[in-house]
Amino acid sequence: MDSIQVVAAGPKNVPYSGALYAGDFIFVSGQVPLDESKQVVGEDIEAQTTYTLDKIEALLAKAGAKLDHVVKTTVFLTDMKNFSRMNEAYSKKFKGIYPCRSCIEVNQLPAPVLIEIEAIAYFPKK
């Protein structure tokens, strides 16, 4: 377990880590567009996508990484009709090479939001 380090703990009373460093990879748990007071941020998919990616970016920054280091994301949408609008907002956050991605429609998310995104970044320790 020496090669696994916590980058960010998960919420209190919930059994998961927000982000872990494992070898040269950073694994970011699914993030949703909720602020620290558990309020939904953004009414539309564009705003929720941007805010969720901002949260991922902040978690990566704790390990010294950036969105440019993300190699894979998984996007969960509650309505696939939001796919093209999510794509527009998503594409504005990534520069250069886009990460590999899966997008899955789900019936419901743990919070009353339109999107959840998890990420894997490649960021070798120096």
Catalytic residue status for 100: no
What span, in angstroms and rounded, lies between the C-alpha atoms of 122 and 72?
9
For the record, the structure tokens of 78 come out as 């509650």
Of the residues 103, 109, 118, 122, which is catalytic?
A: 103
CA distances from 107 to 39, 73, 111, 124 (A): 21, 19, 12, 36
- What is the b/e burial string over 34-62, where b = at least 16 CB atoms within 10 angstroms of the residue's CB? beeeeebbbeebbebbbbbbebbbebbee
| Residues taking part in catalysis | 103
